[in-house]
Amino acid sequence: MTEQQNLAMIQLLTAYDRKQSTKRNYNIYGIGHYFGGVETVQKHCDNGAPLRLAILNVFQDRLCDHVLKGMGLDKMTIDEARWCDFQRLPHCYTCHDKRFDDDDRDCPNCNT
């Protein structure tokens, strides 16, 4: 994912959060989660995953469709939405690809 795509996704999610802030049951902590999702998408892309697949693995439901559409990609198919019919990416590249995460924290799954 390029720096321009990263910035576009952050702007897209900021606008989404601003729109959500006018609605009932708004999550004031949502924007932090969205930005964490952008970092995870970046990590997946840095490890060779296509942008669409990385977004499908990080975001869900309407937010996923909103991000896909905003990034110029097709919305989720019915099978992807209902049955999660797409390749699952690992949460940790340390134990799967023998690469370290950028923050070099220990992996809770493999206890390294």
What number is the average pLDDT over the span 9-27? 96
- Cβ atoms of 94 and 112 within 8 Å: the answer is yes
pTM here is 0.80
- Cβ atoms of 59 and 37 within 8 Å: the answer is yes
Longest distance between any two alpha carbons in the chain, whole Å: 44
Tokens read off for 111: 């206890």
Tokens read off for 3: 């720096």
Radius of gyration, CA atoms only, the chain = 15
Instruction: Read off the pLDDT of residues 45-65 as tens digits, 9 standing for 90 and up.
Output: 999 999 999 999 999 999 999
Instruction: Read off the pLDDT of residues 81-96 as tens digits, 9 standing for 90 and up.
Output: 887 788 888 776 656 5
Q: Domain-by-domain residue ranges, the chain?
A: 3-84
What number is the average pLDDT over the span 11-25? 96
Instruction: Read off the pLDDT of residues 35-47 as tens digits, 9 standing for 90 and up.
Output: 999 999 999 999 9
* Predicted local confidence at residue 36, as pLDDT: 95
What number is the average pLDDT over the span 13-24? 96
Rounded distance between C-alpha atoms, residue 82 and residue 77, angstroms: 9
Choice between 19 and 112, residue whose per-residue pLDDT is larger: 19
Q: pLDDT averaged over the chain?
A: 85
How many Cβ atoms sit within 10 Å of the Cβ of residue 22? 7
* Predicted local confidence at residue 83, as pLDDT: 78
